[in-house]
Structure 1
């Protein structure tokens, strides 16, 4: 990849890491469903603004709108609610580390998906290592001194499962213009999340300026902006190279969580992060390349 592409990947990873801090700020005043509603709703408005600015054609097939709307519920509404729900008992950095398991969960789902890519032995080793890292992360929750709750870790894992399923579904919509697909899917997720938020959490009340700033940042920056860049970079750099953003997000989340929110991360959780990253190296093929290159 070019230096420019690497700079974009580092930037995107850092921004996605920030989203966990934005979640932590928002859940001080609103419930997790409203966090999801604000994120996908503002993100949808941002994507539709790009659609209008670029004069992209809007699909008119009602069936396609329904399908992409349901995809938005799985890909955005559910995971974007699960992460802030988990962060009521989980540090931002730890949630971001668990999010780094997404490529591993995706490898497993894709292996069993109809028409999906079968996992190689190296990938399965990476998946195993990754889940060992997750078990290390969970270990403080099993002791009385741990800050992280087991159910919160399970919620984060549920979010990664949603991402994995939605990535496999998205493959069947390659013919749809990326900006239109993101706009419609986010709209569907926003409608469902908002209805559920009103029904279960009532009318939101935000009085802190930082809450409004976090809502705008997570919607426009962490969602609308990053999705526009992502859909344009993927065809050029490939999914494997793009997956390296998962290395960056936990680092920025840990740093910002400690500086902005005064969160603490246990040393054992740092060990878990390192183990997960090792698993990622196996999954994306870098370990195998290093082995083949070593004799030379």
Structure 2
């Protein structure tokens, strides 16, 4: 029985890794003929529909207090709207594999922020060394980007800011009032899609025949899979195995993003990028160690 539970946990984690790791691939296909703002709006809207259905399936209710919805809006903006838009906008220039690898810096940014804003999350020697390795890897990854055109440089910066936005959201979740995760997941996507409705109507161009079927299908899948279903799986994994088990995804999502880009979109296989990614992942692994005698800075 215990072995079956462990197997199910790993299968769920694998699904989560594949859903989030391939999201960069589907974003690349979607952004080929759909503007970034539309991608973000429909992604959060479809995700909200999926999670609201799951919410009522679990017989839970959304809050009726304004303060709760303001917090959901904050979570929705920092953890969904802003990074989704920056990634979609950046992937108009940067390939999907590179975008996924840049996002590997997110847990290291989270670690640095946690030192200042989360009690008991002090930096130690290993964390500092891991962070410096991560910065080295990111510098190697972004070297060719920053030496290219201005658009490439801005796209690289956009992806970095998206990683930082996810990190800030992680800190906010731990600092602000706690909610039932199912309620919070549905609530923040509802708030995000509602907030983006008017800007999308005002700024979005009319849908034209230039939108390809593949882009449209990719957009629908981004809402259903990486946004809706993945969030449900996330809740289940945390409930079954805990957040420490979940942290394994930080190592594998960038690898899946890179391989998906190479195998499906025929993106260039850069050994320099692979080496840079390995440096970042080693940096993440290093932060898991505890310095002897709990050395702090």
Is the partner of 2:22 in helix, strand or coil? helix
Distance 1:252 1:75 in 2: 21
Give the TM-score, by structure 2 length.
0.88
Structure-to-structure mapping, 1:158-237, within 5 angstroms: 158-172=161-175, 175-205=178-208, 207-237=211-241
Number of the residue aligned with 1:274: 278
Could you tell me whether the CA contact under 8 Å between 1:90 and 1:148 is conserved in 2?
no
Number of the residue aligned with 2:160: 157
Could you tell me whether the CA contact under 8 Å between 1:94 and 1:265 is conserved in 2?
no
How far does residue 239 in structure 1 lie from its aligned partner after superposition?
3.1
Could you tell me whether the CA contact under 8 Å between 2:135 and 2:280 is conserved in 1?
yes
Q: Which segments of 5 or more consecutive residues in structure 2 lack a partner in the other structure?
A: 293-297
Distance 1:29 1:50 in 2: 31
In structure 2, the CA distance between the partners of 1:43 and 1:124, relative to structure 1 (3 Å rule), is same
Deviations 1:209-231 (A, max 9, x none): 21222122111111111111212
Are residues 1:98 and 2:102 paired?
yes
Could you tell me whether the CA contact under 8 Å between 1:21 and 1:257 is conserved in 2?
yes
Is the partner of 1:255 in helix, strand or coil? helix
In structure 2, the CA distance between the partners of 1:74 and 1:123, relative to structure 1 (3 Å rule), is same
Q: Which segments of 5 or more consecutive residues in structure 1 lack a partner in the other structure?
A: 292-296
How far does residue 142 in structure 1 lie from its aligned partner after superposition?
4.0
How far does residue 148 in structure 1 lie from its aligned partner after superposition?
9.0
How far does residue 232 in structure 1 lie from its aligned partner after superposition?
2.9
Could you tell me whether the CA contact under 8 Å between 1:36 and 1:80 is conserved in 2?
yes
Are residues 1:45 and 2:77 paired?
no
Are residues 1:25 and 2:29 paired?
yes
Q: Which moved more, 1:205-214 or 1:51-60?
A: 205-214
Distance 2:120 2:216 in 1: 41
Distance 1:142 1:224 in 2: 34
Are residues 1:137 and 2:135 paired?
no
Q: Which moved more, 1:61-70 or 1:244-253?
A: 244-253
How far does residue 130 in structure 1 lie from its aligned partner after superposition?
0.7
In structure 2, the CA distance between the partners of 1:259 and 1:102, relative to structure 1 (3 Å rule), is same
In structure 2, the CA distance between the partners of 1:106 and 1:204, relative to structure 1 (3 Å rule), is farther
Distance 1:243 1:235 in 2: 14
Number of the residue aligned with 1:294: none
How far does residue 134 in structure 1 lie from its aligned partner after superposition?
0.1
How far does residue 195 in structure 1 lie from its aligned partner after superposition?
2.9
Give the TM-score, by structure 1 length.
0.89
Deviations 1:20-79 (A, max 9, x none): 011111111121111111111110111001112222122111211122112201110000
In structure 2, the CA distance between the partners of 1:73 and 1:143, relative to structure 1 (3 Å rule), is closer
Distance 1:208 1:63 in 2: 41
How far does residue 173 in structure 1 lie from its aligned partner after superposition?
5.3
How far does residue 263 in structure 1 lie from its aligned partner after superposition?
1.6
- Size of the alignment, in residue pairs? 287
